[in-house]
Amino acid sequence: MRLPAQPGELIDRAEPLGFRLGEYRLEGFRGDTIGSALFANGRRVFSRSFKYHRPRGLLCCSGHCPNCMMTVDGVPNVRVCVEPLREGAVVTPQNVLGRLDMDFLSVVDKFGGPFTPVGFYYRTMIRPRFMWPVYEKFLRGVAGLGRLDEHAGHSRRYDVEHRRARVLVIGGGQAGRAAALAAATAGPGVVLVDESVRLADVELPGVEVLAPARALGIWEGKLVPVDSGTVLYRYRAERIIVATGTVEQPLVFPGNDLAGVMLPEAARRLIRDFSLRPGQRAIVLAADERAPEIAETLREAGVAVPRVVDLREGARQLEAHGRRGHVRRVVVDGEETKCDLVVVSGGRQPAYSLLSQAGGRVEYDESLKVFVPRDLPAGIEAVGSVTGEGIVRAEGAAAYEGSGKCFVCICEDVTTKDVKRSIEEGFDSIELSKRYTTVTMGPCQGKLCQLPSIHLYAHELHTYEATIGTTTARPPWAPVELGLLAGRHLEPTRRTSLHFRHEELGARMMWAGPWKRPYAYGEHPEDEVRTVHESLGVIDVSTLGKLLVEGPEAAQLLERLYPNRFADLKAGRIRYGVLTSDGGRIMDDGTVARLADDLYYVTTTSTGADAVTAWFEWWNAVWGYDAEIVNVTGALAALNLAGPRSRDALQRLTEDELSADEFRYLDAKHIEVAGVPCLALRIGFVGELGYELHFPSSAAEYLWDRLLADGARPFGLEPQRILRLEKGHVIVGQDTDSESNLLSAGMPWLPKMDKDDFVGKFALEHFAERDERELLVGFTMEDDVVPAEGAQIVVEGQPAGRVTSARRSEQVGAVIGLGWLPRDRADAGTRFEVRVDRRLVGARVHHGAFFDSAGERMRS
Amino acid sequence: MSALYFMSPARCTPETLASPLERGLVGAPESLRDLSPDGKVELRGDLARVGLAEGDELIRLTPRRGFLLTGDPLAAIDRSRANGVLAYDMTGALGGLAFEGETLFRRLTDLDPGALPTAGGFARISAILVRDEGERFRAYFPQELGHYVVEVVLDVLAGLAGGRSHRA
């Protein structure tokens, strides 16, 4: 039953809203929270506690405590005391076996105590080890904070918005509003953030009010993420004013968690905001000055208040008793009072967490018996009661004597007994004890339990609260949905200019680093391999990194970056290059074409462009050469036209001369193909006569279409891998790793050790002085089985190396591959074994290319 | 013939050219405009020596590096190189998208809309951002990410059309 309309009530009695609690259909009003609507429908138990499954009711009505956490429309852990009611909402209890009023797991509360002392999970259920999966399943079943619906999918859309504010005021109480208005007189850009729905329609001149919304933390650069439900506002503020006020503190006494035990603000909100009588007969227990005020509020709402206890007068024994989890009577120093509502006030603690996160110091104020913020960094201010202003010292006991479970932390079901035991076990630091007992680690994040637990530690250790200190305040200040933190799922995908052509041709696309590339265009990659060997294939190699190095000292720069020579490379010619690190390890590879005396065109691996660009720029800055490095990867598409018919096919599309004499192997030429200017490189990664055409990416689809119309058949990454393996060509990063160097990877011919210097020279000299333990070599399998990449190589029954690449080659007529072998097993023809599907299969070392070892086809 | 002749889409016959955004923008709101074909030139050197033609827009990224948005990239390159500034045709390298709305901007980047042009994070990639009159913006980004950018912008627009937070 609702009270008569209260001044300023939030509900609209003319607009009823229907919702469900389990199988029950209930009704509330627009403006209700789900919690207030449930309360109006007679519900008093909202949840079951984390460990003991004790019934819990509304405690704070402010979204701080865990007592009202329920699953709403499939979303777990919604604090229904602050969640607006909406038509059709489906509310279900969580962490319950049975019903809220009859939870079978509450047996833990009755009988589990001796078996579940503090830290029991560190000591019990760890032996025998093989039983852990069973224990784990059991523990996950009986504890926890709701369940995610794995099949719910993306039930909500979350967005992130970046905003800027001159002044950001956090907290819309009296002090916060005054600070915002004062800041607004100096100009625009003032934003006020507040959790309360009451402020949603408040107009403050010159102030943008964002409510209901929660500031989650304060990071470096005055970054404040604000949770407004489905949009995370990331504010960058020039000045932050924190006016978060205080958090009411509970009292620590046996039975302090019973349904019907409330903080003053909870009772006040039920009465004022939702016109609900929080109980029929109440007792008020206050350790501060608020007892008369609370009693008056209750009486005005028609609640009988037979007893008001000012705990400052020195009560020692205090306990509450209930029936089926509902409070029924309270005993203070032997005097019993029957009641169904206990309003407790343990004082108010400044909500300093945001200020602490911002770098403010927190110290214990002995006169107020609370922690207060001090020494705030520049640009961070605090106003109102968060500074300690207006707080009256509370004089309650650290914990009251009595019988029954006495909770310090209701989130984690940590009792005074648990804390005392942890101290006895040596956990006398609040930070250590926090980790052992989990006090302050629950959903309230210490809002309701940090101060009481510190009081208790100080009391038990006979020391001062200032000595105990506080736990670290970390963001988020309030619970936040992970979806909101994650925002939209954005996965930057690099697509070549031919991406949609590949899809239209039915290519199976695969990730290759950040790129999407065609794996193959049909079910049988070997068909595409055959085409390249026998006729004409074309592959999109636009993903290759492409750099221009230009300037009077470009040659000197490359000469020092690469182990081999580039200063003597003639314009119009190409040379293969491998980049090595300072440690002489292989970093990347590609080709270098000299386009003019002062201009080189460098290609890198598909995933190496950015790293190579940064590497070049770094060394160029160190050495100070007059050379510019420009990454032109995206500017140019690249196609490799390969196969014995490639010259004829290309010749039909260009007027430039392509004969073997005019356009030799490793030549780079400017030609025009079907109206498109191209840089054509005669190189042969796939081992056949071929031309790599580099040209403006915007012309890619046109040129691709022309080549296909002229009979070229597309081939994908998988056929290319087979083709290159037939030639024994290495893929950096697949066949090499971070320890591979040019000598061990079978390229001792590449570094020119007589050069004055190059990156990695010193290390290579060192490598040359010692015998490499492993060498990268080719091999041929004795049986027709393809080992997995990474498969173990076995010599005399012992692991001796690994396979890096292996494919079945129709051209070679065998399964071929590359792998790392011990030096003494790396001679051509040496037999070793490879583990394939748990059996050992014989293989023999092969040196050089498996196919066309003289390279006649690609040089033709 | 310039050694970098092969880099310029302007040297291709017009029918050979396509935009990286054209598929993604099919059916998109008119407030989104494809700027990919517009001329873009990367400059290296003393930017004060770059000769600007009417309508050219120079975006300075560092003291010695800038982007020139121009209607005639070939002429701009010739002019810049003649003045001792290295110039590279990046028309094909960068996709370009014009869009409207500061809220849309703020959902795509944490850059200060009052401090443009600049280069920085945009839809979790790197882009050059320019502000035109009012709440009109332009973004230039690697063309290979163009389709992705359009997907993101359309997704954010859909979110903005969906209304405010469920709490409000």
The token pair at A389 is 């202003």
| Straight-line distance from the first to the last Cα atom of chain B, in angstroms, rounded to the nearest whole number | 64
Cα–Cα–Cα angle for A242, A247, A251, nearest 5°?
160
Kind of pairing between the strands at A690-696 and A55-56:
unpaired
The token pair at A376 is 């705030």
Interface of B with A in 108-167 (CB under 8 A): 109-112, 114, 123-125, 142-148, 152, 155-156, 159, 162, 164-167
Best CA proximity match to B149, nearest among B104, B118, B102: B104
CATH level 3 topology of B21-36+93-162: Gyrase A; domain 2 (3.30.1360)
User: What is the reported pLDDT for A363?
Assistant: 95
Instruction: State the CATH architecture for B38-91.
Output: 2-Layer Sandwich (3.30)
User: What is the reported pLDDT for B166?
Assistant: 39
Subunit contact A230:B106, Cβ cutoff 8 A: no
At position A390, the amino acid (one-letter code) is: G
C-alpha to C-alpha distance for A478 and A318, rounded to whole angstroms? 32
| CA A319 to mean position of chain CA atoms | 45
The C-alpha of A336 sits at a distance from chain B's nearest C-alpha, in angstroms, of: 44
Residue B107 has its nearest CB partner, among A160, A212, A236, at A160
Task: Supply the DSSP string of A651-690, one letter for each residue.
Answer: HTT-SS---TTTS-TTBEEEEEETTEEEEEE---TTSSSE
> Three-state SS for A12?
strand
> Three-state SS for A79?
strand
Helix-then-strand count for chain B, H and E: 3, 9
In angstroms, the Cα distances linking A817 to A305, A721, A730 are 87, 11, 10
Residue whose token pair is 């190579």: A612
Q: ipTM of this predicted complex?
A: 0.96
Residue whose token pair is 């909100």: A269
The token pair at B54 is 């009417």
H or E segment and range at residue A692: strand A690-696
Binned at pLDDT 50, 70 and 90, residue B138 comes out as: very high
Q: What is the mean pLDDT of each run of 10 residues along chain A (860 residues)?
A: 89 96 94 96 94 94 94 91 94 90 85 78 80 84 75 77 97 97 97 91 94 95 94 97 97 96 96 96 95 96 96 92 94 95 96 96 94 96 96 92 93 93 89 90 92 94 92 89 88 96 97 96 95 97 98 98 96 97 96 97 96 97 97 97 97 96 96 96 93 97 97 97 96 94 94 95 93 91 96 94 97 96 94 94 96 91
All structural domains of chain A, each given as residue ranges with its CATH number in brackets, are 12-126+138-142 (3.10.20.440), 157-243+348-393 (3.50.50.60), 248-347 (3.50.50.60), 406-472 (1.10.10), 494-542+635-723 (3.30.1360.120), 545-631 (3.30.70.1400), 773-860 (2.40.30.110)
Residue A229 has its nearest CB partner, among B107, B147, B168, at B168
Q: Which residues pair with A640 in a beta bridge?
A: A539, A692
- Cβ-contact A764, A772 below 8 angstroms: no
Q: Counting every residue, how long is chain A?
A: 860
C-alpha to C-alpha distance for A564 and A567, rounded to whole angstroms? 10
User: What is the reported pLDDT for B165?
Assistant: 42
Mutate to test the interface with B, among A86, A196, A511, A697 (most CBs of B within 10 A): A697
What are the pLDDT digits (tens) for A823-832? Answer: 999 999 999 9
Boundaries of every domain in chain B: 21-36+93-162, 38-91
- Domain B21-36+93-162 and domain B38-91 have a common topology: no
Q: Which residues pair with A600 in a beta bridge?
A: A549, A594
Sign of CA dihedral A253, A415, A99, A20: positive
Nearest CA in chain B to A595: B3
Contact residues, chain A, for B37 at CB < 8 Å: 698
The token pair at B130 is 């320019």
Give all strands of the β-sheet with B118-122 in edge-to-edge order.
Answer: B33-34, B94-100, B136-142, B125-131, B118-122
What are the pLDDT digits (tens) for A107-145? Answer: 888 887 777 788 877 777 777 888 888 888 887 777 777
Q: Where would I find the H helices in A273-344?
A: 291-300
C-alpha to C-alpha distance for A148 and A134, rounded to whole angstroms? 21
Residue A599 has its nearest CB partner, among B3, B37, B114, at B3
Residue whose token pair is 């696309």: A509
Subunit contact A632:B15, Cβ cutoff 8 A: no
- Cβ-contact A498, A697 below 8 angstroms: no
Give all strands of the β-sheet with A75-79 in edge-to-edge order.
Answer: A24-30, A12-21, A90-92, A69-72, A75-79
A760's torsion region: left (phi>0), alpha (psi -120 to 50) or beta? left
Q: Which residues pair with A304 in a beta bridge?
A: A281
Task: Supply the DSSP string of A77-114, one letter for each residue.
Answer: EEETTTSBP-TT-EEE--S-SB-SSSBGGGHHHHH-GG
Binned at pLDDT 50, 70 and 90, residue B168 comes out as: very low
User: What is the reported pLDDT for A155?
Assistant: 66
